[in-house]
Structure 1
Amino acid sequence: MGIMSYHQNSCSDYDCQSVSGNLQPESTSPYSEPSLPSVPSLVSQSNHQNHHPPTTHHHCIATLKGHNSYISSIAIAGKFLCTGSSDKEIRLWKCNSSSSKLDHENITENMLVAGKGAVKSLVVLADKLFSAHQDHKIRVWKIDNYETDQHKITRLATLPTLSDRALKLLIPKNHIQVRRHKKCTWVHHVDTVSALALSRDESLLYSVSWDRTLKIWQTTDFKCLESVGNAHDDAINAVALSNDGHIYTASADKKIKVWKKNSGEKKHSLVATLEKHNSGVNALALSSDGSVLYSGACDRSIVVWEKDEGGNLVVVGALKGHRKSILCLAVVSNLVCSGSADKTVRIWRGVEKCYSCLTVLEGHKGPVKCLTAASDRSNPSDTSSCLLYSGSLDCDIKVVLGLVCLSLLCSGL
Structure 2
Amino acid sequence: MRVTKPNWVQHTVGEKKAKCPIYSISVHPDGTRLATGGLDHKVKIWSTLPILDQEAENEEQNPKLLCTMAAHTGSVLSVRWAHHGRFLATGSDDQVIMIWGIDPDGGGRLWGSDEVNVENWKALTRLVGHVADVVDLAWSRDDSMLASVGLDSTVWLWDGSTFERLRKLDLHQGFVKGVCWDPVGAYLATQSDDKTVKIWNTEDWSLVESVSEPFKTSPQSTFFRRLSWSPDGAFIAASNAKNGPVFVGAVIDRDGWGSEISFVGHENTIQVAAFNPRLFFPQGEPKGRATASTVLALGANDFSISIWRNTLHKPLVVLKDIFGADLMDLCWSNDGHHLYGSAVDGSICAISFEKDEFLDLAEEGDTDIVLGEYGYEGRMGKRGKAAAAGAGALGPTSSAPSVSTSFGPTTTTSTHVNVLQPKKGKAKRRASFLPPAPGGGGTNGFHPPSHTHTQGRDPFSGPIQGSSSQVGLEGQRMLQNANAYPTSPRTGDKRKAPSPSSPKHSSSLFRPAPSTSSSQALTQTLGTGADGGGAVRAAFQRGYEQGRAEAMEEAEVEVRGMVERERKGIEEAAFRRAVEMVRKEGGGR
Shorter-chain TM band: 0.5 to 0.7
Question: 1:378 maps to what in 2?
Answer: 404
Pick from 104, 114, 121: which aligns with 1:104? 121
Q: Deviations over 1:16-44 (max 9, x none)?
A: xxxxxxxxxxxx99xxxxxxxxxxxxxxx
Choose the corresponding residue for 2:77, options 72, 75, 89: 72
Counterpart position of 1:127: 144
Q: Structure 1 pair 55/221, CA: closer, same or farther in 2 (3 Å)?
A: farther
Find the partner of 2:193 among 192, 197, 210: 210
Given the two structures, how large is their TM-score scaled by the length of structure 1? 0.62
Amino acid at match of 1:314: K
Residue aligning to 2:229: 241
Looking at structure 1, the residues matched to 157 and 410 of structure 2 have their Cα atoms a distance apart, in angstroms, of: 40
The residue that corresponds to 2:209 in the other structure is 226
For the residues of structure 2 that align with 1:103 and 1:393, how far apart are their CA atoms?
30
Residue of structure 1 in register with 2:88 after alignment: 81
TM-score by length of 2: 0.44
1:4 positional shift: 6.5
Q: Which residue of 2 aligns with 1:269?
A: 258
User: Matched residue of 1:153: which SS?
Assistant: coil
Instruction: Look up the match of 2:473.
Output: none
The structure whose residues are more often helix, as a share, is 2
Greater strand share, structure number: 1
| Aligned-partner Cα distance in 2 for 1:206–1:3 | 31
Identity value in percent = 20
Q: Secondary structure at the match of 2:204?
A: coil
Q: Could you give the per-residue CA deviations for residues 65-108 of structure 1, whole angstroms, max 9, x where no partner exists?
A: 1211101112223522111101211112122358996321123x
Instruction: Name the structure 2 match of 1:198.
Output: 181
Alignment partner for residue 308 of structure 2, among 301, 305, 311? 305
User: AA paired with 1:326?
Assistant: L
SS of structure 1 residue aligned to 2:226: strand
Query: Superposition RMSD on alpha carbons, in Å?
Result: 3.5
Distance (whole Å) between structure 2 residues aligned to residue 59 and residue 121 of structure 1: 26
**Residue 228 and residue 348 in structure 1: after superposition, are their counterparts in 2 closer, same or farther (change >3 A)?**
same
Whether the aligned pair in 1 keeps the contact of 2:78 and 2:136 (CA below 8 Å) is yes
Match of 1:341 in 2: 344
Q: CA deviation at 1:127?
A: 3.3
User: Match of 1:363?
Assistant: none
Question: What's 1:94 paired with?
Answer: 101
Please say if residues 206 and 214 of structure 1, whose CA atoms lie closer than 8 Å, have aligned partners that are also in contact. Answer: yes
**Is the partner of 1:231 in helix, strand or coil?**
helix
Any residues of structure 2 matched to 1:14-413 within 5 Å, and which?
55-57=55-57, 59-77=64-82, 78=84, 79-96=86-103, 102-107=119-124, 110-125=125-140, 126-143=143-160, 146=161, 152-160=162-170, 188-232=171-215, 233-234=217-218, 235=220, 237-244=225-232, 245-251=234-240, 253=242, 254-262=247-255, 267-290=256-279, 291-307=294-310, 311-320=311-320, 321-332=322-333, 333=335, 334-351=337-354, 378=404, 380=408, 383-385=411-413
After superposition, the C-alpha distances for 1:146-204 in whole angstroms (9 at most, x for unaligned) are: 3xxxxx532111114xxxxxxxxxxxxxxxxxxxxxxxxxxx21001111111111121
Q: Secondary structure at the match of 2:74?
A: coil
The 2-side partners of 1:3 and 1:198 are apart by: 29
Q: Is the 8 A contact 2:10 2:346 kept in 1?
A: no
Contact 1:252/1:279 (8 A) holds in 2: no
2:252 aligned partner, one-letter code: W
CA contact (8 A) 1:70 1:393 kept: no
